[in-house]
Amino acid sequence: MTLMSRIIVPLALSALLASCANGPDNSVAYVERPAETIYATAFESLDRQQYPLAAARFDEVERQHPYSEWARRAMLMAAYANYESNNYEEAISDAQRFISLHPGNRNAPYAYYLIAISHFEQIMDVGRDQAATQQALLALEQVVRRYPDSRYATDARLKIDMTRDHLAGKEMSVGRWYLRRGYHLAAINRFQNVLREYGNTSHVPEALHRLVESYVSLGIDEEARQVASVLGYNFPGSEWYETSYDLLTREGISIGESIEQADPSFMRRAMQRLFG
């Protein structure tokens, strides 16, 4: 072999290994290195927002050094990198594996939170199936239940309210669809479910008004009057009460005594009877 050949061949081999180290799919070729070296390289990729590559490199830490302290750290970092790259299923899988292997670790609350927000990011609009929304709600509630005083619980509570509002919106969408097609009993069931299950959401005033509409359409004037009274008592300045009031006036249905002077005990009894 000539001198030139002895120089070129090692260089070509080195270039080949370098090109294979990070393939187009961000896979990492097996090159044995210390755990802290691989972890530092992975963290550098994370810092550069090369999230898929970072996830692959954090996985490599665990692959080469599965029983090291670095592997435990890398497992959760891989979950975070997958979350940042919108690879939510992998993020959930990594975080769940971390919890399974290290349930008492001080970072377990973050693992639960990462699972919850990965589900939360997959919530679809109200026109779609809401299975992901239900999963997000359960996961968020688990964060609050397990770690009520953690910083993650604060954000989880906010997202729970948003998730419940989203589920209520789905019920309202279906209820309005039934109402438009004249399926009044089915619509009533949906609107009542909003009041029973999602009574603290922004959809309550409209749900009450849609019940008034449904009862008027069925000719059940007394039910319509009582629901309108409840609507006016709880949301006196809302557009939905004004719309219900105008509807009942056109139909010749009187709401009765002034809403401002209504007996609170009557309102509680009405609420319990109508929606309890």
CB atoms within 10 A of CB 6: 9
> What confidence score (pLDDT) does residue 243 get?
95
End-to-end CA distance of the chain: 91
| CA distance linking residue 263 with residue 7, whole number of Å | 97
Q: Where are the beta strands (DSSP E) in 176-276?
A: none
Residue with the bigger pLDDT between 30 and 101: it is 101
Alpha-carbon dihedral angle through residues 78, 83, 86, 92, given to the nearest 10 degrees: 90
Residue with the bigger pLDDT between 264 and 59: it is 59
Q: With bands split at pLDDT 50, 70 and 90, how would you rate the model's confidence at 24?
A: very low
pLDDT at 120 over 50: yes
> What confidence score (pLDDT) does residue 29 get?
57
> What confidence score (pLDDT) does residue 209 get?
97
**60-103 per-position pLDDT tens digit:** 988 888 888 898 999 999 999 999 999 999 999 999 999 999 99
Question: What is the residue extent of each domain of the chain?
Answer: 203-276
Q: Cβ distance 163 to 120 under 8 Å?
A: yes
Lowest mean pLDDT among 134-148, 207-221, 250-264: 250-264
> What confidence score (pLDDT) does residue 64 get?
86
Query: What is the pLDDT averaged over residues 231-252?
Result: 92
> What confidence score (pLDDT) does residue 3 get?
34
pLDDT at 21 over 70: no
> What confidence score (pLDDT) does residue 271 get?
57
| CA distance linking residue 203 with residue 209, whole number of Å | 10
Cα 221-253-182 angle, rounded to 5 deg: 50
